[in-house]
Structure 1
């Protein structure tokens, strides 16, 4: 887990809507209201167009939240090149962990666009509470992914525009976060246990430097809150060294481990 600079000011709730694309290798902005990662197969043939520009266009047209929507795009800027493979993987992992929604679009064609790596990523994120699965009806060998999407309550869409819309429905209006706060996804940020814990830390003068969701279980019914386990790095208000703690929320209650 990288340690971020402290959160300074975060975007006000009345900030105008904007969309910022962050390509692989680029540093994300210091604050945002929501973040979406575009996950799925990337064409190996330069002559084969990527689906991601259309996804970005759909998100731009649909985003109406107050503040900045960041779209993580694991492809280089036009005319650019990919980083070293290990650096690519590290950037992708960090971006996915910081995202509020991981939008999967898998137009699988076993001859042109098999998307085998996407299967691994789907397995890692399908039960995160942040996944959206999109695939056209003609996509090949999707039965297993679709089965678990339905079993886990993951939104499923058959068009790219529909998948973008589902991602933004999950995000809602977003929530302004800056610095280390960006590492807390909306699925956790909005829960009462986290909000109570964070309000107490801020009142004490502490600063959230980083966070990582280690486990997440969605709510099992209309009256039950999601459960989660979060590792946080906090700079105490007294100026002492940062402290790493684990927070557990279960059955609507929060406790420090």
Structure 2
């Protein structure tokens, strides 16, 4: 499996791929669901796009989560749009928790943009808030 993070260049050649879409934790205390997804995909022999910078994915403290000087919001959104477009499947896991730091507001936009792509796989825990429309 090749992990491609938001601070990596988009590969020139991708034969099969997944994009792990859904809300990202805003603080170090909230567990990023993508770690479990990567463990579940350990036998996958394709590319997995992870829409956060690599250092944030592996950070153990808030200090390690600070964005690098080269990171920009526009660069992030451009990377995400390009990778969602080339991915074979877009896996939306939406553990929405409004007060718990996982509101997923941007996820709503991305889900709508990709809805008719035929590439969406959608899931959420039973505890996810305000997802009825997505269901």
Q: Would you tell me which structure has more strand in proportion to its own residues?
A: 1
* Residue of structure 1 in register with 2:81 after alignment: 93
The SS at the match of 1:121 is helix
Q: CA deviation at 1:40?
A: 0.4
Runs of at least 4 residues off by over 4 Å: none
* Residue of structure 2 in register with 1:138 after alignment: 127
Question: Could you give the per-residue CA deviations for residues 120-153 of structure 1, whole angstroms, max 9, x where no partner exists?
Answer: 111111221000101011111111000xxxxxxx
Q: Which has the higher contact order (CA 8 A, sep 6+)?
A: 2
Q: CA deviation at 1:47?
A: 2.1
* Residue of structure 2 in register with 1:9 after alignment: none
Runs of at least 5 residues in structure 2 that lack an aligned partner in the other structure: 56-63
Residues in 1 aligned to 2:12 and 2:108: alpha-carbon distance in whole angstroms: 31
Q: How much is the aligned-residue C-alpha RMSD, in angstroms?
A: 1.5
The SS at the match of 2:133 is helix
Provide TM-score, normalisation by structure 1.
Answer: 0.45
The SS at the match of 1:21 is strand
Q: CA deviation at 1:76?
A: 1.0
Give the count of matched residue pairs: 123
Say if 2:48 is the partner of 1:71: yes
Question: Could you give the per-residue CA deviations for residues 42-86 of structure 1, whole angstroms, max 9, x where no partner exists?
Answer: 11112212111111111124x2xxxx4000001111346361111
Runs of at least 5 residues in structure 1 that lack an aligned partner in the other structure: 1-18, 147-257
Note if contact 2:10-2:79 (Cα within 8 Å) is conserved in structure 1: no
Out of 117, 122, 125, the position equivalent to 1:128 is 117
